[in-house]
């Protein structure tokens, strides 16, 4: 299984990175299966550096805040209007109401007498599934757990269905959550948000600091920790410095276009 960081900026797209988006790939039935976790602003353009987006088999949304899902609208435009369109095979997994949320994001009123777009809208173009605690997506066993965030939000555990295939856990957005620790138990890599600095006044139940993210990895007994979702108004090196005392294994910052082989 391979992880490719498409975008890792937190809360907004940044000067050097798109917002949250991570491509997970593994062999499946004689080809490469591609699962995209989150599709935040700017990520569709960045995705073209790694594959033609029509090759994406499934998209999994950790939650429906704009910085994690809004380039689904751009994906729909490409799926409907680019050469080779329509792309109708893509499966979307997310919280309840994902199709309706994306429809609200895409649709604007037409002008009186104007032409409406033909064909199905974004809510009908793709196949949508609510997250389950446990599901099979291509070559991956995918388990989810609700985490501590103001909206319905999920951490996602991806296990490759092959010997030595490896295990990735993506935190999505979360404050400190025992459910994340439990889901991440023994994973090879914890891809974990670290949007806050260690300072007074951080809102509870919203995000993790670098120290909290690293401590989550220690509590879960993971093999390595990758810190992500750091907003452009924070210094990533400071986040990493704050995290370092709290995890003894490999600890790194997510970087756009970085690749990590898991398993």
DSSP string across the chain: -EEEEEE-BSSS--SS--BSEEEEEEEETTEEEEEEE---TTHHHHHTTTS-GGG--EEE-S--SHHHHTTHHHHHHHHHHSTT------EEEESTTHHHHHHHHH--PPPTTPPPPPS--HHHHSEEEE--SEEEETTEEEEEEE-SSSS--EEEEEEESSTT--EEEE--S-SS-HHHHHHTTT-SEEEEE--B-S-TTPPTTT--BHHHHHHHHHHHT-SEEEEE-B-TTS-HHHHHHHHGGG--S-EEE--TT-EEE--
pLDDT of residue 136: 98
What confidence tier does 13 reach under pLDDT thresholds 50, 70, 90?
very high
Handedness of CA 33, 133, 187, 94 (dihedral sign): positive
Backbone dihedral region for residue 201 (phi beyond 0: left; psi -120 to 50: alpha; all else: beta):
left
Residues 95, 152 contacting (CB under 8 angstroms): yes
> What are the boundaries of each domain within the chain?
2-105+120-261
Which pLDDT score is estimated for 118? 81
Q: ∠ CA(132), CA(4), CA(165), 5° rounding? A: 60
Of 230, 187, 186, 180, give the one whose Cα is nearest residue 205.
180
Query: Model's pTM, two decimal places?
Result: 0.97
Confidence of residue 114 (pLDDT cuts 50, 70, 90): confident
Q: What is the pLDDT of residues 141-172, one digit of tens each?
A: 999 999 999 999 999 999 998 888 899 999 99
At 89, is the pLDDT very low, low, confident or very high (cuts 50, 70, 90)? confident
Proportion of the chain above pLDDT 70, given as a percent: 100
Q: How far is CA 59 from CA 53, 120, 210, 248, in A?
A: 11, 19, 27, 33
Class of domain 2-105+120-261 as given by CATH: alpha beta
Joined tokens for residue 197:
């600095």
* pLDDT over 90 at 5, yes or no: yes
- Cα distances from 141 to residues 34, 115, 151, 178, in angstroms, run 13, 43, 25, 21
| Percent of the chain whose pLDDT exceeds 90 | 91
pLDDT of residue 116: 76
What token pair was written down for 47?
């995705």
How would you classify residue 186: left for phi > 0, otherwise alpha for psi between -120 and 50, otherwise beta? left
Quote the tokens at residue 228. Answer: 């992500």
For 38-71, write each residue's pLDDT tens digit.
999 999 999 999 999 999 999 999 999 999 999 9
* 8 A C-beta contact, residue 158 and residue 24: yes
């Amino acid at each position: 299984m391979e992880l490719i960081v498409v975008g890792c900026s937190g809360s907004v797209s940044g000067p050097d990175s798109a917002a949250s988006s991570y491509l997970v790939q593994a062999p499946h039935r004689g080809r490469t299966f591609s699962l995209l976790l989150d599709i935040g602003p700017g990520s569709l353009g960045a995705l073209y550096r790694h594959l033609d987006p029509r090759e994406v088999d499934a998209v999994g949304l950790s939650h429906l805040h704009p910085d994690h899902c809004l380039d689904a609208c751009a994906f729909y435009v490409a799926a409907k209007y680019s050469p080779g369109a329509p792309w109708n095979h893509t499966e979307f997994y997310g919280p309840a109401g994902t199709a309706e949320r994306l429809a609200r994001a895409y649709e604007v009123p037409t002008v009186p007498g104007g032409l409406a777009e033909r064909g199905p809208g974004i809510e009908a173009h793709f196949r949508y599934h609510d997250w389950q605690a446990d599901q099979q997506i291509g070559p991956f066993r995918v388990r989810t757990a609700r985490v501590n965030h103001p909206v319905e939000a999920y951490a996602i555990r991806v296990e490759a269905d092959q010997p030595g295939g490896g295990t990735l856990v993506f935190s999505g957005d979360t404050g400190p959550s025992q459910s994340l620790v439990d889901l991440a138990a023994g994973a090879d890599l914890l891809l974990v948000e670290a949007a806050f600095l260690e300072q007074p006044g951080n809102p509870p139940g919203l995000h993790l600091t670098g120290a909290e993210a690293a401590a989550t990895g220690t509590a879960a007994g993971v093999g390595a920790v990758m810190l992500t979702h750091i907003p452009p108004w924070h210094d990533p090196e400071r986040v990493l410095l704050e995290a370092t005392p709290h995890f003894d294994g490999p600890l790194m910052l997510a970087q756009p276009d970085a690749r990590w082989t898991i398993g």
